[in-house]
A = this chain, B = another copy of it.
Amino acid sequence: MADPRFFSRGQPISIAQIIETTGASVDGDVKLSTEITDVAPLETATVGNITFLENRRYAEAVRSSKATACFLPSTLVHKAPKAMIKLVTEFPRRSYSKISQLLYKSESASANIHEAARISDLAILGQDCRIEAGVMIGAFCEIGDCCWIGANTSIDAGVIIGNGTRVGSNVSISHSKIGKNCFIYPGVRIGQPGFGFEIDSSGPIEMPQLGRVLIGNNVEIGANSTVDRGAGPDTMIGSGTRIDNLVQIGHNVEIGKGCVIVAQVGISGSTKIGDRSIVGGQVGLAGHLTIGSDVKIAAQSGVTRNVKDGSIIGGSPAVPISEFRRQVARIKLLGRRNSTE
């Protein structure tokens, strides 16, 4: 079970409640009042636990599992021990996740404005917010209902944050509008001026950085990532997009909805990415590119050209993934042969 120092587990849940919550159906005769006290993976689950089996590869592990109940697809029901309660669903992992969330009250904040928070008299604060010690909220900010702002975070004048958004500790936000139910992790920097200069024959010119950062709903931005504000247009991140830790997003970048940006990616200024695209870890994208929707980019790639919808690319400079794989295979040969071709 999860360490009770950090996670508080709620009341047990009956199989009847689990069925109601997840829409799973039971296989065979089952005592619907059986109580489930915890979630656990197949290997470590014990009596009273619920687990899940999604991938045929782990089917052997289910045989010896001591879990009381298990979410699984109908095609794998026969693999489970007779005594195990089999909860049949197309989405075992998703169902498991739902029950986890029920059992472990999320870290939802108790509403409280700490006396050592510094909130401008000119800021508007919603209902039931938790504002921790050392938080600074500037004039004309609008913070929605049920927001949670972590300790020592600084929110500059005018920033708007939607209902239910959580901001971690030691975050800096300026020049931004952030939607509902977002999670901004600790140490994120949003809204600082971009790397905004150009060079002409008499040296560097500071260009004004007069844009904002606009972030949709249900967006996650990982720890210590940085999002520069626009130079004139805005930097935009669409709803449902998830950004991992230590990612750099340059000014005027536009990221669509439902994208996934893995850790340590760098996106240069004015590049646009469509919806549902996935960018692997440590990828670099040059500036002023147009990357389509449903694109997948392999980790450590360097993208220097526009990319069409649905493309899968890899390498530095990036090429279609099949080409990249051939490159890798051929380079591997080069490394092995001692001949001079």
Contacts and interface: CB of A to CB of B under 8 A. Distances in A.
User: Is the contact region of chain A dominated by helix, strand, or loop, or is it mixed?
Assistant: loop
Contacts of A97: 205-208
A323 B207 CA distance: 34
A88 interface: no
A262 B248 CA distance: 11
Given A5-B158, A39-B210, 6 more contacts: A3-B175, A132-B154, A134-B134, A154-B169, A185-B189, A224-B246
A308 interface: no
A150 B168 contact: no
A268 interface: yes
Contact of A268 (B91, B242, B281): B281
A206 B181 CA distance: 13
Interface string A302-341: 1000000000000111010001101110111011111001
Given A136-B152, A172-B150, A336 B323 contact: yes
Interface in A1-45: 2-3, 5-7, 39-41
Interface stretch (A63-71, A76-84, A123-131, A196-204): A196-204
A147 to B, nearest CB: 17
Contact of A211 (B2, B134, B175): B2
Contacts of A262: 195, 268
A266 B242 contact: no
A284 interface: yes
15 contacts: A6-B158, A97-B208, A132-B154, A150-B172, A154-B169, A187-B189, A197-B242, A204-B242, A228-B245, A244-B248, A263-B266, A268-B281, A319-B332, A324-B335, A326-B336
